[in-house]
Amino acid sequence: MKKFLNDPQTFVKEMIEGVYLANPGKYIYKPEFNILARNDIPKDKVAIMQGSGSGHEPAHIMCVGKGMLDAACPGNVFAAPPMDYVYECTKLIATDAGVLHIINNYQGDRMSWDMGREMAEAEGIKIGTVIVDDDVSVQNSLYTVGRRGVAGNFFVIKCCGAAAERRKTLEEVVEIGKRVNANVRTMGMALTGCIPPAKGTPIFTLADDEIEIGIGIHGEPGRRRDKFKPANEIVDELFTAVYEDLPFASGDRVAVMVNGMGGTPISELYLLYGIVAKKCADKGLTIVKNYVGNYCTSLEMQGFSLTMLRLDDEMETYLNDPAEIAIRVF
């Protein structure tokens, strides 16, 4: 294993510290609970937080900022945050308007966030919850009962964050989050596995002529292994699965994300986006917003996922609202 680290056990904390130090004056950092939070959360605004396992950066720790998350409390690589992380983070950012928990649909995450929420509610904090389960690859997996939450969480975060900045109520922010989740679909694939720092070996291996269709972001098995094939054919399978699952229809206005899994060159991601854009045009879909790059990754895995969101006027407005996060301006 060749990675830039000192000790696998301190990898996540050192990574969060780096994000904190790269953005002086913007954040509160609580290393004992892996919390990174805005230091300027208005008290009349719904506070929004998320925190799944680490290893998916920039999700979620690098998405803290105005118009997006107000805080994140990730667990170790590919591990849910302990319930006390959730509890302490909720207490830290709680406002008069309440707190929204955005949770990706994995068993460990659901358990930790449920317990952390109950502890915070016992202290009188008002909390709303949105579960993200946008992955069309499989109905159940090693980590979930039901569909997995993957790159579609970015659209949930962005719309909820914008709604909160406009001072929507907690109930209204929850509603927009659930509406986005109901209209977003994702499917991914991989060319290679990845190496969690604490494991030191790949979580799975693929032969030189193999690919995994429908991969999960923790390396969970997908729909099947297949032989390597041209990009057009790979995109066709993912696009068809995403398009038919909702289903989308001619005339829909959509946001499209071609998300790298961490190790895919940006040049290849734009090649893939070009194929997706032509398929959208052929189906009568209008791409209103596009996102190409690394959003929800799996360490250094080579691969990509395709996410499509069917928009309504409100979602479109929220996607166009400004946002500031640790690594870029949306």
Put residue 230 in one of left, alpha, beta given phi > 0 → left and psi -120 to 50 → alpha. Answer: beta
Catalytic residue chosen out of the listed positions 38, 117, 147, 218: 218
SS3 call for 144: coil
Measured between alpha carbons, how far apart are the two ends of the chain, in Å? 34
Q: What is the DSSP letter of 28?
A: E
**Using CA atoms, how far apart are residues 59 and 257, in angstroms rounded to an integer?**
14
Residue type, 253: R
Contact 326, 24 (CB under 8 A): no
Catalytic residue chosen out of the listed positions 26, 45, 56, 60: 56
Is-catalytic flag, 101? no
Instruction: Name 286's bridge partners.
Output: 253
Is-catalytic flag, 60? no
Residue type, 271: L
Q: Which of 175, 90, 174 is nearest to 128 (CA)?
A: 174
**Using CA atoms, how far apart are residues 294 and 296, in angstroms rounded to an integer?**
6
* Cα distances (Å, whole numbers) of residue 211 to 136, 228, 312: 18, 6, 35
Adjacency order of strands within the sheet including 71-72? 27-30, 35-38, 71-72, 47-50, 99-104, 127-132
Q: Which of 142, 310, 165, 329 is nearest to 242 (CA)?
A: 310
Q: Which residues are catalytic?
A: 56, 218
